[in-house]
Structure 1
Amino acid sequence: MNGKVDSLLTWLKKSDKFYIAPNISICESPESGRGIILNHGSIKKNDTIVSVPSSKQLNFHTILYHISKFNKELNIPGITINRKQIDYEKNVIDVGNKGSIDPRYELYSQLSKKFLLSLSSFQLISFYILVENHLLPKWTHNEIHSDWKPFFDVWPSMEELRSIPAIWYCDPSSQYHSLMKYLPAASQNHMTRIGGLVRGDWNIISEIVLKWNDICNSFYGIEKSEKITSDELFSLFLHIYFVINSRCLYAEVPLKVEDPMNNFTLVPYVDFLNHICEVDLHCYPQLNIQLKSEGEKSIGIGQFSIRCGEHSYENINEELFLNYGAHSNDFLLNEYGFVVDENKWNYLDISSDVIELVNDDKKEVKTFLSRHGYWGDYTINENDISYRILVALNYFVTRDERRVRRFIEGYISEDYFKPKISPVLKNLLASLTVKYTKILDQLIEEQNNGEDKLCLQNIITIYKGYIKILTQHLKDVES
């Protein structure tokens, strides 16, 4: 990996706008993978740790810019290339002893402005990376490589991303399908939501990818045994999708500003920073928006920097951290493929358990709660049992519509209902503790039997967090 990081830095330093603090370096550990550490001196509040120019970031704008190098009809003012900057003569290269052109001139010229602008950020970026990183070298017998290769080369392998549940869900050949049944409700919901997005995006771009692959396989004389099959293409796309998902950073993209899900950029070196749960303490991002006055020579959306927060780094080998957001372990596992042992943002989604408890034969409870907007979405976190659970139990136990309605409106406090619902709440918490402890025991047994320790340990950590929350609330109810 050191050689690849060196190549990445060499590539980045080709821009005079790139900056990296002289006292940081990359480290690797079995626990957290790659990270950034302090190797001498100190880093204090507001010091710049790393700053990456627009031209070295992958996002909707920079990709359109690079596609326009090969598509002279693509003209988006302020985003695509200035026609005076490039000669569109097609350079001939020697590929397999046969004079040929860079296939991107032919292929990218087929992409209309309307089609490209209709794509989401995920669709365009994953499509572009699939072509540039995997198909271009294959088609040209490794004679042509993407300008972005130094960035691609430091990304995690599929093996390193194996603990992300949506990969198990989407990949029919995954060896971890059996673990999906152990995922709690919150993780199941995240997994199926992300899986739906993956399949939807693949449906949008797969037609053109498969078509191009067939054309180029034939034109460049790719042997049948070396051809990338449609299943292999999907696996490559799946890998790319979760590289993007686990490494993208929020940044406003003017062409996609109306949809928050499209506002992100991939920033080399910055993506080595690992997550910490503490908010507003460690490193923080800063985006200097590209100014129109800088002219068409400017590429992308702006300079992306990481600065030091309130926490000063003064100990040699101390790791620098970036808070990814106030996220539970269920969220972290599904978006990034890791969990945190002590995570104050954990919560339990116990909607199915509460619904099973309160849903009577006459549907009376469901009717009342639905009418007032309190049916479902029942959660517990470290500090609170959600108000929605209290409303559901208050009505289930008392069937007192008037008083429960006044409780919803804020005229009656929790103290009125607390003695009435405490026995039911206590039983619910106790039964959930037994349920999750049983699952935890099964997971530990599977881990001892040699199943993948990383994948299982992540799920084990989630259940330990759940049990900790339930135990605390049981003590509160019993006191």
Structure 2
Amino acid sequence: MLDVQQRLESLLQWANASSNELSKASNAAYVSLKLEVKDVENVGRGIYAVQQVQRNERLVRIPHSFLLNFTTVVAHITKHNSLIVLSDPIFSNLQIPPAKLDDVGKVYSKFTYETLTALSSFQIVSLFLILESQRPGSFWGPFMDMLPETEEMGLSPLVWTVQQHPEAEKLVSLLPRSARKHADAIHSRFVKDMAVVEALLKETDYFTTDRFLWAWMCINSRCLYLEMPLGKSTDDNFTMAPYVDFLNHLCDDECGIKIDTSGFHVYASTQYKPGSELFFSYGPHSNEFLLCEYGFVLNENKWNYIDVSDYIMPLFLPKHVDFLKRKGYYNDYTINRDGMSFRTEVALATLQESAPDDSSRLNSLVDGLIHGAAYEARSQALLLQILQKIARDSTKKLESVSRPGLPQQEAICVLHDGILEICSARGVTL
């Protein structure tokens, strides 16, 4: 295996040479000479400025033919089946290399258009990554070579669970309650997708659980939003983008993205001095989300919140549940450093009404006609009791973790530290 710098050079040569060969020069891949990728110990890969970067300066352009997503994968796979003609206009601007009649090509040739388009984006891109990563001379080889190994994503609870980490059971038990639920939901998605892809490859030797885990985590941790015309839900709206996926996350956007007919563009949203790392915001995500979905946490994260749904919902009577469901305010109750969300405010106000449907005061609050001053004292008192329970649980779990410990334990500690910080900001004392 080549070292990181050699693989990076191969990636850039591939994108530039192949795009010039497949498309017009005006639509070729572009990476600013002011950028470099560095692999920093204990930090990982990132994009750094080697010269001054100005605000709004274009940094990267990746043509659509070099984006890996539902549309491009369908175009690549169906190239191997002469009976399939892609007539949809979304395929017309894609430049796809000729089919290869190798072992992987033979697998592709058996898939019908209907089979492929019935898959979700996660399923079809996972399938493609598994096959192309084992395909000698793959067109996508330079991109595959720069994807992380599963071990590099090892902070993710999904990886602990699927790889049966020796401490997996203990690690899961140490997670905050809402993080465990989030991790369980991700595992369910993973298992569902794995069953579909395994069935498609059951007559081959290409599928293993470890390979699927690698492919699925590469997608989940590196995909970027891009609307997919053939998608069946918003979950299908993503793409993988060579080079762009080296941009690490920061709470505030420092790089912007524009998508047009010529490709996927990255611009600087701020100035960068030489030696500075460039960042891109993946969204307003809490550490719980970042750990469960991407496999990392931030020591400082302004988007942290506490999910208090499991503490509030058991207090509801059927009349409260009916009212909140009709109004669209059932479940998803959170609090952050600045206070409770409006959903939480509505839920706690509803608990104070014996006949919520008949309460003009409550209905006015829900409709945004009045503030919740009449409910505030009791709502704050109940919320304080809930936060005290949560803080005690986090404190107890922190006491059972040795520091320094496993990297996974350190990440869990960051989650609990964030919870305690919010509890303290909302008046909890232990």
Structure 2-normalised TM-score?
A: 0.86
Q: Which amino acid aligns with 1:283?
A: C
1:409 aligns with 2:364: yes
Name the CA distance, whole Å, in 1 between partners of 2:358 and 2:302.
Answer: 34
C-alpha deviations, 1:222-241, integer Å up to 9, x for none? xxxxxx7x6xx111101110
What is the distance in 1 between the residues matched to 2:322 and 2:189? 31
Q: RMSD in angstroms over aligned alpha carbons? A: 2.8
Work out which of the residue numbers 211, 215, 218 in structure 2 matches 1:240: 215
Residue by residue over 1:292-338, the C-alpha shift from the partner in whole angstroms, topping out at 9 and shown as x without a partner, is xxxxxxxxxx51110111x111x221011111111111111111111
The answer to whether 1:442 aligns with 2:397 is: no
SS of 1:255's partner is coil
Matching of residues 83-94 of structure 1 within 5 Å: none
What is the distance in 1 between the residues matched to 2:160 and 2:357?
48
Tell me the CA shift for residue 178 of structure 1.
2.2
Aligned to 2:24: none
Once residues 379 and 82 of structure 2 are traced to their aligned partners in structure 1, the CA distance between those partners, rounded to angstroms, is: 70
Over the matched positions of the two proteins, sequence identity in percent amounts to 30
Residues 17-76 of structure 1: per-residue CA shift (max 9 Å, x gap): 011111110112234310000112x11122111111122221222222222332212211
* Counterpart Cα distance in 1 of 2:263 and 2:163: 36
1:251–1:426 Cα change, 3 Å: closer
2:391 to 428, 433, 436: 433
Q: Cα distance 1:318–1:412, how it changes in 2: closer, same or farther (>3 A)?
A: closer
1:360-386 CA deviation, whole Å, 9 max, x = no partner?
xxxxx4223212116543321121223
CA distance in 2, matches of 1:307, 1:421: 45
Aligned to 1:11: 14
Structure 1 residues 349-428: aligned runs within 5 Å:
349-355=307-313, 358=315, 365-373=316-324, 376-394=331-349, 406-410=361-365, 413-428=371-386
1:33 alignment counterpart: 44
The equivalent of 2:72 in structure 1 is: 62
**Residue-by-residue CA offset, 1:382-420 (whole Å, 9 max, x unaligned):** 212234444554565675868966234327643323344
Q: Does 1:461 align with 2:414?
A: yes
CA distance in 2, matches of 1:412, 1:54: 49
In structure 2, what is the Cα distance between the partners aligned to 1:104 and 1:432?
A: 52
Structure of greater Rg: 1
Q: Give the secondary structure class of the aligned counterpart of 1:204.
A: helix
Tell me the amino acid that sits aligned with residue 395 of structure 2.
T
> 158-167 or 58-67: which moved more?
58-67
User: Which of these residues, 18, 26, 32, is aligned with residue 21 of structure 1?
Assistant: 32
Residues 27 and 34, structure 1, Cα contact 8 Å, conserved in 2: yes
1:254 aligned residue: 229
Q: Is the 8 A contact 2:356 2:362 kept in 1?
A: no
| Worse overlay, 410-419 or 368-377 | 410-419
Aligned residue for 1:49, secondary structure, equals strand
SS in 2 for 1:160: helix
**8 A contact 1:329–1:462 mirrored in 2:** yes
The residue number in structure 2 matching 1:296 is: none
Alpha-carbon offset, residue 433 of structure 1 = 2.0
Question: Aligned equivalents of 1:86 and 1:22: distance in 2?
Answer: 27
Residue type matched to 2:374 in 1? Y
Deviation at 1:81, TM superposition (A): 8.9
Q: Is the 8 Å Cα contact of residues 57 and 267 (structure 2) preserved in structure 1? A: yes
SS class of match (1:372):
helix
The DSSP-based 3-state class of the residue aligned with 1:416 is helix
Equivalents in 2 of 1:404, 1:457: separation in Å?
48
Find the partner of 2:242 among 260, 268, 274.
Answer: 268
Contact 1:73-1:109 at 8 Å conserved across structures: no
Look up the match of 2:25: none
Superposition deviation, residue 355 in structure 1:
4.2
Q: CA deviation at 1:188?
A: 1.9
Q: Unmatched 5+ residue regions in structure 1?
A: 91-100, 137-143, 214-227, 290-301, 359-364
* Matched residue SS, 1:474: coil
Paired residues, number: 408
**Alpha-carbon distance change, 132 to 405 in structure 1, aligned in 2, over 3 angstroms:** same
SS of the residue aligned with 2:258? strand
Change (3 A) 1:416 1:145: same
The reply on whether 1:195 has 2:198 as its aligned counterpart is no
Q: For residue 110 of structure 2, give the secondary structure of its aligned residue in structure 1.
A: coil
Q: Residues 152, 421 of structure 1: CA spacing in aligned structure 2 closer, same or farther, 3 A cutoff? A: closer
Distance 1:408 1:181, change over 3 A: farther
Q: CA shift at 1:458, angstroms?
A: 1.5
**Which AA in structure 2 matches 1:29?**
V
Offset of 1:126 from its aligned partner? 0.7
Letter of the 1:350 counterpart:
V
What does residue 259 of structure 2 align with? 287
Question: Residue 51 of structure 1 aligns to a residue in which SS?
Answer: strand
CA distance in 2, matches of 1:5, 1:58: 18
Given residue 234 of structure 1, which amino acid in structure 2 is its aligned partner? T
SS in 1 for 2:152: coil
Q: Which runs of 5+ in 2 are unaligned?
A: 21-27
User: Cα distance 1:324–1:86, how it changes in 2: closer, same or farther (>3 A)?
Assistant: closer
- Asked whether the equivalents of residues 253 and 264 of structure 1 are also in contact (C-alpha less than 8 Å), the reply is yes
Output the amino acid matched with 2:225: Y
In structure 2, relative to structure 1, the CA distance for the partners of 1:399 and 1:149 (3 Å cut) is: same
Amino acid at match of 2:212: F
Alignment of 1:132-211 (within 5 A): 132-134=132-134, 136=135, 144-172=136-164, 175-211=167-203
Q: How far 1:172 sits from its partner (Å)?
A: 4.1
2:257 counterpart SS class: strand
C-alpha distance 432-191 of structure 1, shift in aligned 2 (>3 A): closer
